[in-house]
Amino acid sequence: MKVKSIFTNSFGILISRILGFIRDMIMASTLGVNIFSDIFAIAFKLPNLFRRIFAEGAFVQSFLPSFVASKHKGVFSTAIVLRFLIFIIFGSIIVNIFSDLATKTIAIGFDDETVALASPLVAINFWYLDLIFVITFLATLLQYKNHFATTAFSTSLLNISMIGAMIIYAKDDPIDIVYALSFSVLIGGVMQLIVHIIAIKKFNLHKLLIGGWKYRKQKDITVEKKTFISQFIPAMWGNSTAQIAAFLDTWMASFLVTGSISYLYYANRIFQLPLAIFAIATATVLFPSISKSIKNNKIKEIDKNLAKAFWMLAFTLGFAMAGGIILSQVIVWLLFERGEFTDIDRMNSANILVMYMIGLLPFGLSKLFSLFLYTSKRQGKAAIIATYSLAINLILSFILMQYMGAMGLALASSIGGWVLFILTLKEVGFDKFKDIIKSKNSLYFIIVMALFSIILLYINNILEKMI
């Protein structure tokens, strides 16, 4: 297991997330929790929804194994990226033409006046998807070369751009601030693209793409393209379920009290921090290695790396989960409670954070075990499992929101995470899981988590007196 690469990737993500929290702190102080923060959350959510489904999720998980197996890597890469880019640009044009309809689709509870405010922002932000797709494609090529730093650190550029916009426009009207934020998203995307192009040139991968274009008519990649598409379609659905759930959470939250969308956003931002730093960073680094190991039939090496990664994630995510639950009020107070963000906003966001944190461990570990499904080209099985998880999530969301409001939506998401984890284990094979937990590490985990929780409870009692 490439521990150094995991550390580099995690550190890059950590820096980016710290800047993201600074961004959110400034946003909370500048905008507070109101209709303007809600409409920006909506505008920024739509391109991020498609980014996670279409670009970062399904594309990477289908493209990388196919790229590893391809006999004509340059031609294959060029053919795939051009087809996808044309499709995404066309989609962006459609969203810009029908921005009102796109806004109503994601926030059906908004009245006409709010839709009119939000739709131009939705149109602007959606162009970020075009930029991030090209970035994701270039990042996947860099992953093949076991280079992760550029992608991990580049997200910081987006946050720096948004922070700069809020500092410059801090004293302007709220509507001007959200417009500035929207344009800063595109500026940040351009900066991310530039650093990836520089990295591609450094690793001489531009020659592969130039050669792919030059020899595109001389190499037959028909079978490779068909294989990729057959994997991409179920992978897209499998990755879309979590994002559809988040999309529907926003949709349902638009029917709840004003601020519910923002509460979910701030709580989910905290939840995503340990998930990204530990689980996503680890999975990103292991994915190309496992793809190559499966191609070369090195099963023992895969199992060894899986066990190491499992315990690393179990401890780190376990600590984060306990900390998020016990220190929820303190964390939200420390990060966001200033300016227009009140103590009521803090309590609401913290309660939702607790519900999200219940699902941190299963969501993180399911990302690890699902690598086997994607690298062994079982995207269809992964899609079926994700569908069951989504169905449970949606049913519980409709029920729990009636009694718990936005907290119910977050709790339903966590329960869906546990369903996802259990079904993924079943498909991969419970034997692998049993072999891992038949270890003294299991006893260490229980003891350490118990002691850690007791210490956190003591610390929480002291800190809550400061709030």
Q: What is the DSSP string of 98-133?
A: THHHHHHHH-TTS-HHHHHHHHHHHHHHHTHHHHHH
Q: Are 381 and 373 in contact (CB under 8 A)?
A: yes
* Cα–Cα distance measured from residue 152 to residue 192, given in angstroms and rounded to the nearest whole number: 10
The pLDDT of residue 56: 55
What global pTM score does this model have? Answer: 0.74
* Cα–Cα distance measured from residue 328 to residue 322, given in angstroms and rounded to the nearest whole number: 10
Q: Is the dihedral of CA 346, 349, 351, 357 positive or negative?
A: negative
Q: Who's near 98: CB < 8 A, 6+ residues apart?
A: none
The pLDDT of residue 452: 93
The pLDDT of residue 185: 93
Give Cα 4 to chain centroid, integer Å: 22
pLDDT in tens, 353-390: 999 999 999 999 998 888 778 777 777 888 899 899 99
The pLDDT of residue 380: 81
Q: Is the dihedral of CA 14, 17, 19, 25 positive or negative?
A: negative
What would the two tokens of residue 258 be? 């004003």
What are the angstrom distances between the C-alpha of 218 and each of 74, 75, 78, 84, 222? Answer: 12, 9, 13, 21, 12
Nearest to 278 by CA among 329, 305, 314: 314
The pLDDT of residue 86: 92
pLDDT in tens, 221-262: 777 778 777 777 777 777 677 777 877 787 788 788 778 888
Low-confidence ranges of the chain (pLDDT < 50): none
Q: Which amino acid appears at position 365 of this protein? A: L
Burial of 173 (0-12, 13-18, 19+ CB in 10 A): exposed
The pLDDT of residue 237: 76
What would the two tokens of residue 255 be? 């029917």
> What angle do the packed helices 430-437 and 299-326 form, to 10 degrees?
70
